[in-house]
């Protein structure tokens, strides 16, 4: 029995030391307390959740709430003082920045990719084809070398930063057909496209998984590498915005997201960290 005491003792010390080492970036939260309310872009949520979980486990006096709603909601809520951090998947407009006195903290690069159902045989499109599909001039998959089936269009709601970027950089501000189905989040878009064999939609690259296909557009595959090296051009930064200077707890949270540990979370979700 006594034989095991020392090794167990060593193991316990080792574990607590690794916890302490890991707590390096979390140290800034030592002794703090309060609540951080976050709302806005749905693309940011997975990273925010990872960070929040770590922080709340480390310091039980800190409470962090995270809500969605879209980039428009994020900017509005933080501007009106309803939340501490408003996430947006698009840069706030100059009018928004001046009206609310926003401070911008971009912390990742994310691309927006065209997605299709796994059963769809089409695996590449030209930018013009995407524009025509969304404008409604191309109505059938056979016009782009697919099956003879009507194309079911899916787009996002008005508040979506994902939509704003897709519209500006992929569709080049072209029309979106009034027949398109409107869904309210990246998650809802993924579910809709994954379940509808004739669907076409768009989601943040960080949200892409095995349930959907993301074809190459104009010869460039929508991966984070291509977003980083500039080959894939439909990209946007993920912003966290505050109204004026953030209070110390909020500043600590933002610093944490931009720290090496935060970068791990960002990479884990397939976004690209930026300073």
Partner 1 sequence: MKEKIIEKWLIISGLFTVSLSALIFLFLIYFSLPLLNPAVLKNILSLQWDPVHGKYGIMAMGLASIVLAVSAVLLALPIGLGISCLLAGLAPRKIARVGHTVISFMTSIPTVIYGFVSVFLLVPFIRNIFQKGSGFCLLSAVPVLSILILPTIVLLISDSFKNVPRTHKESARALGFTPVQEFIHVIIPSCKYGIMNALILGFGRAVGDTMIALMLAGNAPQIPNSFFNSVRTLTAQIALVLASDTQSLAFKSIFTSGLILFIIMLFVSIGSYIVLYKRDVKNE
- Residues binding partner 1 (CB under 8 A): 69-70, 72-73, 76, 93, 95-96, 150, 152, 154, 157-159, 173, 175-176, 178-184, 191-192, 195-196, 198-199
CB of 206 to partner 1, least distance (A): 21
CB of 107 to partner 1, least distance (A): 22
**Cα distances (Å, whole numbers) of residue 36 to 52, 86, 91, 171, 211:** 9, 11, 22, 36, 33
Q: Which residues contact 230 (CB under 8 A, 6 or more apart)?
A: none
> CB-wise, 32 or 180, nearer to partner 1?
180
> CB-wise, 60 or 173, nearer to partner 1?
173
Could you give the CA distance from residue 86 to residue 198 in angstroms, rounded to a whole number?
Answer: 35
* HSE-up of residue 50 (Cα within 13 Å, Cβ side): 14
What burial class does residue 140 get, using C-beta atoms within 10 Å of its C-beta: 0-12 exposed, 13-18 middle, 19+ buried? middle
What burial class does residue 260 get, using C-beta atoms within 10 Å of its C-beta: 0-12 exposed, 13-18 middle, 19+ buried? exposed
CB of 43 to partner 1, least distance (A): 15
CB of 217 to partner 1, least distance (A): 22
> CB-wise, 39 or 144, nearer to partner 1?
39
CB of 167 to partner 1, least distance (A): 8
CB of 122 to partner 1, least distance (A): 17
User: In the chain, how many H helices and how many E strands?
Assistant: 10, 12
Could you give the CA distance from residue 150 to residue 163 in angstroms, rounded to a whole number?
Answer: 23
Helix (H/G/I), strand (E/B), else coil: 28: helix
Rounded to a whole number of angstroms, the distance between the first and last alpha carbons of the chain is 53
């Amino acid at each position: 029995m006594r034989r095991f005491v020392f090794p167990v003792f060593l193991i316990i010390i080792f574990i607590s030391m690794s916890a302490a080492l890991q707590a390096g970036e979390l140290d800034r939260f030592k002794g703090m307390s309060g609540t951080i309310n976050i709302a806005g872009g749905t693309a940011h949520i997975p990273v925010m959740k990872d960070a929040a979980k770590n922080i709340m486990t480390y310091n039980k006096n800190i409470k962090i709430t995270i809500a969605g709603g879209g980039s428009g909601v994020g900017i509005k809520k933080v501007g009106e003082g309803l939340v501490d951090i408003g996430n947006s998947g698009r840069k706030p407009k100059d009018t928004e920045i001046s009206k609310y006195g926003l401070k911008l903290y971009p912390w990742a690069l994310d691309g927006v990719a065209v997605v299709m159902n796994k059963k769809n045989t089409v695996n590449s499109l030209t930018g013009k084809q995407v524009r025509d599909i969304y404008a409604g001039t191309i109505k059938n998959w056979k016009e782009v070398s697919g099956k003879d089936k009507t194309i079911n269009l899916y787009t996002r709601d008005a508040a979506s930063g994902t939509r704003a970027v897709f519209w500006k950089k992929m569709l080049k501000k072209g029309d979106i057909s009034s027949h398109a189905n409107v869904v309210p989040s990246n998650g809802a878009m993924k579910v809709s496209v994954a379940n509808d064999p004739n669907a076409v939609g768009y989601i943040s690259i960080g949200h892409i998984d095995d349930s959907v296909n993301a074809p190459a557009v104009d010869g460039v595959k929508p991966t984070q590498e291509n977003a980083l090296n500039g080959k894939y051009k439909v990209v946007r930064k993920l912003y966290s915005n505050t109204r004026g200077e953030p209070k110390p707890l909020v500043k600590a949270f933002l610093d944490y997201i931009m720290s090496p540990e935060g970068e791990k979370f960002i990479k884990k979700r397939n976004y690209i960290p930026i300073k």
